[in-house]
Amino acid sequence: MEGGSDENLGNGIGGSRWNPTKEQINMLESLYRQGLRTPTAEQIQQITARLRDFGHIEGKNVFYWFQNHKARQRQKQKQETFAFYNRFLHATTPVFPPYQNVVCSPCYISPPRNDPAVFYQQHPKVPLPTASGSFKRSRLIPQMSINDSSKQQQQQQPTIQKYNNNLHCIYTARNSSSHHQETLDLFPIHPTGILESSRNIDEAGHDQNEIKNPSFCAEKERDANNDSHPFFDFFGGN
Amino acid sequence: MEGGSDENLGNGIGGSRWNPTKEQINMLESLYRQGLRTPTAEQIQQITARLRDFGHIEGKNVFYWFQNHKARQRQKQKQETFAFYNRFLHATTPVFPPYQNVVCSPCYISPPRNDPAVFYQQHPKVPLPTASGSFKRSRLIPQMSINDSSKQQQQQQPTIQKYNNNLHCIYTARNSSSHHQETLDLFPIHPTGILESSRNIDEAGHDQNEIKNPSFCAEKERDANNDSHPFFDFFGGN
DNA sequence: CAGATATGAATGAATG
DNA sequence: CATTCATTCATATCTG
């Protein structure tokens, strides 16, 4: 897939873009599966620090990773939803809504809102009616009005500073990492099976036996928090 | 060029990539010639549905096709332009920019006043004037610490801020108006009205002086500084 | 078959 | 957060 190169830049020169290592990807995905979507600045820092053990990485990489991953995940999901409706409208085949096809998540099935894995998740129930008008999205997705949770979490209301505490935990065992196991434990990870990769982005070794992310059909999981998409999908083919 | 075979994969096995049929290519190119560059989700849907009659195809294929085609067209053009200027600088031959078969290649930076292909065209990002102070993105850019008056120095402009594009519009519309509607509309996809002018971002103009640094730039860390953290293991599960 | 080229696919990085 | 662009990887096809 995108690999090929085995070396992450690491060198300031050239300025090639970040090339995540497998471990980094794994950890990031793990966090994502646990519900983390839009890490705060602090979280980004922590994650970055943690991932740095596996190769050069900067905060912005983590930031972008989450942004992209989330967006693309959503696109996939939308696509399926859309495809579903398409079928529903066109064909007469009674199919079920696509949003239940939790293929690969080892053990996360997008549990209810109060899932343990939501530590990182920004689902603060805090009031904070900062429902400030959000941007205007003229193009796609005219909806989006429910998820104001995105903003509040950033504010880090002192009342919910529990999120800040995390910081400690992460920094705590920072230099004792020897195994991945340990590493993962630092994070909210808690899964029984170590995230053993839902994706094999190795270099050169194109293991064809795996999905390889045929693109937008690898893993799907509901956002669990918002995302009530209207269905306007991007890849509405299928 | 690969136009040789006309077999579409059809076989999900092996995970072969989509191999467009001639008809599909023709139609796609036609649409492209008509000015379509970045189809919206809806358009992708329609196109996909339409092209499916000629072989297996998914929305993402259409999406990628346009992405790639546009990019490569642009790249090609850039080269030509470059070559042109090279000649211009070296030789004294008064030649005009290479105007190849690319019917419409409105640069995406300068607004094509009346480009022929504007039906689908997504216009370039016009340098919108700062209309009025609008809301700032409070979301991103998690201010690292409001009450922390010690480490404010980290903000060093992120080395990102890369601006690669500006070479394109060099020769923007030297022939504008010479348009010709191609008459190739294989199938109408809202030929006229759809042009997503949705891109009217005229109101969102926040002062360009604003920091572009996406949050993550908070490369600093105040680690154990704050102390006083009670330390709850939010990560370790409830 | 090797090398070159064309192009599908994926994803990091921005931008607004 | 949606959208777009640049790059790179992977593979198909062509060519000699």
pLDDT of residue A94: 54
Is A234 in contact with B62 (Cβ distance < 8 A)? no
With cut-offs at 50, 70 and 90, classify the pLDDT of residue B72. very high
Is A235 in contact with B142 (Cβ distance < 8 A)? no
Provide the CA A92 to C1' C12 distance, Å, integer.
41
pLDDT, tens digit (0-9, with 9 covering 90-100), for B97-112: 554 444 443 333 333 3
With cut-offs at 50, 70 and 90, classify the pLDDT of residue A90. low
Selected residues 195-224 of chain B with any CB under 8 Å from a CB in chain A: 196, 198-201, 203-204, 214-221, 223-224
SS (H, E, C) chain A: CCCCCCCCCCCCCCCCCCCCCHHHHHHHHHHHHCCCCCCCHHHHHHHHHHHHHHCCCCHHHHHHHHHHHHHHHHHHHHHHHHHHHHHHHCCCCCCCCHHHCCCCCCCCCCCCCCCHHHCCCCCCCCCCCCCCCCCCCCCCCCCCCCCCHHHHHHHCCHHHCHHHHHHHHHHHCCCCCCCHHHHHHHCCCCCCCCCCCCCCCCCCCCCCCCCCCCCCCCCCCCCCCCCCCCCCCCCCCC
Least confident residue range of A93-97, B136-140, B188-192: B136-140
Q: Which residue is nearest to nucleotide D1 (CA to C1')?
A: A71
**What mean pLDDT, rounded, does chain A reach?**
54
Is B216 in contact with A58 (Cβ distance < 8 A)? yes
Is B14 in contact with A45 (Cβ distance < 8 A)? no
With cut-offs at 50, 70 and 90, classify the pLDDT of residue B19. very high
In B, minimum Cα distance to A167 occurs at: B223
Q: Which amino acid is at B21?
A: T
pLDDT of residue A76: 82
pLDDT, tens digit (0-9, with 9 covering 90-100), for B179-231: 333 333 445 544 333 333 333 323 333 333 333 445 544 443 333 233 222 22
In contact, A222 and A110? CB cutoff 8 Å: yes
pLDDT of residue B9: 47
pLDDT of residue A186: 40
Q: Which residue is nearest to nucleotide D13 (CA to C1')?
A: B2
Least confident residue range of B76-80, B111-115, B223-227: B223-227
Closest in B59, B160, B233 to A235, CB measured: B59
Q: Which strand D bases fall within 7 angstroms of a protein CB?
A: 1-14
pLDDT of residue B36: 92
Provide the CA B20 to C1' D9 distance, Å, integer.
20
pLDDT of residue B92: 67
Question: With contacts defined as CB-CB under 8 Å, which chain A residues touch B135?
Answer: 132-133
With cut-offs at 50, 70 and 90, classify the pLDDT of residue A74. confident
Q: Is B158 on the interface with A (CB under 8 A)?
A: yes
Is B232 in contact with A132 (Cβ distance < 8 A)? no
Which range of A98-112, A170-184, B54-68 scores highest in mean pLDDT? It is B54-68
How far apart are alpha carbons A130 and A157 in whole angstroms? 11
Question: With contacts defined as CB-CB under 8 Å, which chain A residues touch B237?
Answer: 116, 188, 190
Q: Is A233 on the interface with B (CB under 8 A)?
A: yes
Is A60 in contact with B229 (Cβ distance < 8 A)? no
Question: With contacts defined as CB-CB under 8 Å, which chain B residues touch A35?
Answer: none
Is A167 in contact with B42 (Cβ distance < 8 A)? no
pLDDT of residue B51: 93
pLDDT, tens digit (0-9, with 9 covering 90-100), for B148-167: 333 333 333 333 433 333 33
Of B42 and A152, more confident:
B42
Whether pLDDT at A62 is above 50? yes
Neighbour-count burial of A189, counting CB atoms closer than 10 A to its CB (0-12 exposed, 13-18 middle, 19+ buried): buried
Selected residues 49-88 of chain A with any CB under 8 Å from a CB in chain B: 49, 58-64, 79, 82, 86
pLDDT of residue A210: 34
Q: State mean pLDDT over B84-99.
A: 63
Q: State mean pLDDT over A181-201.
A: 38
